[in-house]
Amino acid sequence: MSSRRGFLRNILAGAGVVATAKVLSAQEMDMSHGTQGMKMKGMKEAERSHLSPTLVETPDVSQLPWRMDRNVKEFHLIAEPVKQEIFPGRVVDLWGYNGSAPGPTIQVTRGDRVRIIVDNHLPEATSMHWHGFEIPNAMDGAPGSSQDPIPPGGRFVYEFTLHQEGTYFYHSHMAMQEMMGMIGAFIMHPKEPYKPRADKDFAIIMQEYAILPNIEVPNSMNMEFNWLTFNGKAGPATTPLIVRHGERVRIRLINLGMDHHPIHLHGHQFVVTGTEGGRQPESTWGPGNTVLVGVAQSRDVEFVANNPGDWMLHCHLPHHMMNQMSSMVGPLSRRNGMPAGLDMERGMGMLRQGSATSEENGPSLGRGMGVGSTAEQAMSNSPLKAESTMQHQDMPDMQHQGMQLGKPEVSKDANSVPGFPQDAFMEGPMMAMDETVDKPENFGLRPGWSGFMAGMMTFVRVLPQDKYDQIMELRKKQEGKEPMKMNMPGMEHKHE
């Protein structure tokens, strides 16, 4: 998020009017890292007025600041490897932008002239595509056709004028890099807010990863996934959306991955007001509570938060409501483990070491279904003993993650019931980690809530004024200690 003022100066010095379809080598760039944030101009004044659209919050993801260069809004994105904690204790190696995956959110207004300096700090070439933008072909970021890929250490400066409005995004146009996390939201605001004006506006990017417990690198070639994230976090590490009772809320859902996600909201009907193509005519707004967000699509939903309470917002694919699913089934739910038959690596095609495209791992990875594979742990499939299943010593893996280790309630004859267990040991009290994921936005949730939140799950918390104020107060206090990611200097969100 630093502004790298040194080389911005370089760029700007010779720039004047920038027709900057040029890749710079590392040597041409002054890599001195100025750390002062770019001055936010324009946005604060705009935010003061109710005549302006509400700024979009992206919980758990920062906002990308900009500087004005005469009439051009200048942004700076750095494609780079990142270490990201997607879940308490689970730090993984992703590729993203400016320190996170998804990368920081860009917000502009229709009509803006925008310059985006993209530096490639990856060990291989990349490209930056502006998804759905109607801009000159040379700015499209299609590697090999509209431009040369940006080499490692290189830079490409994009510049264009935006005449669209809606929920857009930027992403690497190298397919495997997309699966390492390389996407970010790009919100184009209208000059005047839509009517009725949204009081709260949020964006959530959905991603999925395949990562074995003993490795930190996602397998980008995999076709099944065990970590599902909203804005780079798996539940219960996701940050709830906080709204006041009675407010009009917009949620922008963005999907770029291998799966489609039916996103469901509890307690409210909403209307779909926008797609990746921008605002939809009001005549198309039929009520619903689940919206399918397909790959490469975005969907805006709007509703009046007229029903107080803590409402789940989640992908409704059952396996997308779980964390590290396959690997936890064994150790957690079966005292004597899962049956041998197919080891998880082969079943899910995950990496032990190296890269998915290496000679050893490459061609058949994720597709091999051979017999005679080993178990993930040496274990047999003996029946569960309902009364003694969840001994703490049976779950060494879980203890360090700060779980509360409660005991699930099961009936005495549970094992005589065909199909048991299903969720008994997959979610519930023993998965709770309220304290570990404690943050202002979780304040006042029902104790033990976190044991039932996983994967692509979060809350829309529709709060009465006093409770809302309490959380905003806590948030302010916390901001004093460590900067909240959604805020930046000069871009305060209104919490009045």
Residues that bind Cu ion (CB under 5 A): 261, 315, 317, 320
Nearer to Cu ion, 115 or 320 (CB): 320
Nearer to Cu ion, 261 or 268 (CB): 261
In whole angstroms, the minimum distance from the beta carbon of 455 to Cu ion comes to 8
In whole angstroms, the minimum distance from the beta carbon of 226 to Cu ion comes to 13
In whole angstroms, the minimum distance from the beta carbon of 12 to Cu ion comes to 43
In whole angstroms, the minimum distance from the beta carbon of 312 to Cu ion comes to 14
In whole angstroms, the minimum distance from the beta carbon of 85 to Cu ion comes to 21
Distance CA 279, CA 291 (A): 16
Helices (H), 145-256: 175-178
Closest CA to 64 of 495, 480, 491: 491
Nearer to Cu ion, 233 or 320 (CB): 320
In whole angstroms, the minimum distance from the beta carbon of 122 to Cu ion comes to 27
Is the Cα dihedral 366, 367, 368, 369 positive or negative? Answer: positive
Q: Which residue has the tokens 């926008």?
A: 274
**Are the C-beta atoms of residues 357 and 320 closer than 8 Å to each other?**
no
Interior/surface letters 315-351, b for 16+ CB within 10 angstroms, e for the rest:
bebeebbbbbbbbbbbbbbbbebbebebbbbbbbbbb
In whole angstroms, the minimum distance from the beta carbon of 209 to Cu ion comes to 13
Instruction: Report the relative pairing of strands 248-255 and 298-304 from DSSP bridges.
Output: antiparallel
Q: Which residue has the tokens 């790959």?
A: 295
Nearer to Cu ion, 76 or 261 (CB): 261
Nearer to Cu ion, 210 or 462 (CB): 210
Report the residue count for the chain: 496
In whole angstroms, the minimum distance from the beta carbon of 60 to Cu ion comes to 18
Strands (E), 163-240: 166-172, 183-189, 200-209, 227-230
Nearer to Cu ion, 292 or 304 (CB): 292
Structure tokens belonging to residue 287: 């009520």
Helices (H), 367-441: 396-399
- Within a 10 A sphere around the Cβ of 378, how many other Cβ atoms? 8
- Phi, psi torsion values for 284, nearest 5 degrees: -95, 0
Nearer to Cu ion, 78 or 179 (CB): 179
Nearer to Cu ion, 319 or 439 (CB): 319
In whole angstroms, the minimum distance from the beta carbon of 286 to Cu ion comes to 22
In whole angstroms, the minimum distance from the beta carbon of 259 to Cu ion comes to 6
Closest CA to 421 of 410, 430, 429: 410
Nearer to Cu ion, 261 or 335 (CB): 261
**Are the C-beta atoms of residues 403 and 433 closer than 8 Å to each other?**
yes
In whole angstroms, the minimum distance from the beta carbon of 295 to Cu ion comes to 11
Nearer to Cu ion, 70 or 316 (CB): 316
**Are the C-beta atoms of residues 214 and 135 closer than 8 Å to each other?**
no
Rg of the chain in Å (alpha carbons): 24
Distance CA 168, CA 172 (A): 14
In whole angstroms, the minimum distance from the beta carbon of 297 to Cu ion comes to 13
Nearer to Cu ion, 244 or 261 (CB): 261
Which residue type, as a one-letter code, is found at position 199?
D
Is the Cα dihedral 26, 27, 29, 32 positive or negative? Answer: positive
Nearer to Cu ion, 73 or 320 (CB): 320
HEC readout, 56-97: EECCCCCECCCEEECCEEEEEEEEEEEEEEEECCEEEEEEEE
- Within a 10 A sphere around the Cβ of 168, how many other Cβ atoms? 23
